[in-house]
Amino acid sequence: MTWRATVLTLFPGMFPGPLGHSLAGRALAHGLWSLDVRDIRDHAGGRGGRVDDAPFGGGAGMVMRPDVVSAALAGVQDSRPAIYLTPRGRRLTQPDVAGLAQGPGVILLCGRYEGVDQRALEACGVQEVSAGDYVLSGGEPAALVLLDASVRLVPGVMGDAESGTEESFSSGLLEYPHYTRPAEWCGRAVPDVLLSGNHAAIRAWRQAQAEAVTRDRRPDLWAGYVQTLPPRATPKPAARAAAP
């Protein structure tokens, strides 16, 4: 069954954008997923077709009207989760996109201005999700991020299924460093273990490197990873990941 994405936006020309290229673009062309982009302005009726208005209580900026947003959502909502991309939402994670990829698809609401009237989100059962701890000019770039992360995990999209199991976050760790030819470059050599042909030693090295880089760069992830280990299985301090 084709994985279906519907995007509600004031700027439909921003799609498919980068999603029309590379892995996601090929999968889109082959029908592994579909993209339906809807212009929210199509649901703005009277008052000159306005989609926004001044916020109650005062303040800078404008707010997207609840009647317009709810009308746009009403035309597309089904069994798929509806998500509003906003900095005040729950932060998007790899397990989140993996779960979305296993489902029927997603409906994404892209906000602009100061955001969307909260009543529309509550009335339509929309989830609030953040692409990261930063502010963008609108929800469209965040929607592109969520779709790219999800589509690549849709069954059949990646040629090598293992590519998705050894990536950063898939096991609670950041990914180990990678090397390719030439074996020596600018006086920097590939670690000997990767040239040894000893697959058990290579797996152990990669695990140690993933643990080291996670502990050094993302102590928050490291703390969560340690909690998932059985008693007395906490990894011993390992060497830092090799410098590039």
Cβ-in-10-Å burial (0-12, 13-18, 19+) of 243 comes to exposed
Per-residue pLDDT of the chain (244 residues; tens, 9 = 90+): 899 999 999 999 999 999 999 999 999 999 999 999 999 999 997 656 799 999 999 999 999 999 999 999 999 999 999 999 999 999 999 999 999 999 999 999 999 999 999 999 999 999 999 999 999 999 999 999 999 999 999 999 997 654 555 666 778 899 999 999 999 999 999 999 999 999 999 999 999 999 999 999 999 999 999 999 988 666 766 555 555 4
DSSP 3-state of 185: strand
Q: Compute the distance between CA of residue 24 and CA of residue 14 in angstroms, rounded to an integer.
A: 15
Domains and CATH numbers, the chain: 3-151 (3.40.1280.10), 168-227 (1.10.1270.20)
pLDDT reported for residue 171: 83
Cα–Cα distance for residue pair 30/14, rounded to 1 Å: 21
Residue 169 confidence (pLDDT): 78
Q: Which residues of 171-184 are buried (b: 16+ CB within 10 A; e: fewer)?
A: bbbbbbbeeeeeee
| Under 8 Å between Cβ of 76 and 7 | no
Give 55-85 pLDDT, tens digit per residue.
999 999 999 999 999 999 999 999 999 999 9
Q: Of 235, 222, 241, which is closest to residue 177 (Cα–Cα)?
A: 241
Q: Residue with structure tokens 């011993």?
A: 236
Q: For the segment 156-187, what is each residue's pLDDT rounded down to a tens digit?
A: 999 765 455 566 677 889 999 999 999 999 99
Count of other CB atoms within 10 angstroms of residue 101: 20
Confidence (pLDDT) at 45: 79
Give start and end residues of each alpha helix (H) in 109-153.
118-123, 139-151
Q: Which residue type sits at 235?
A: P
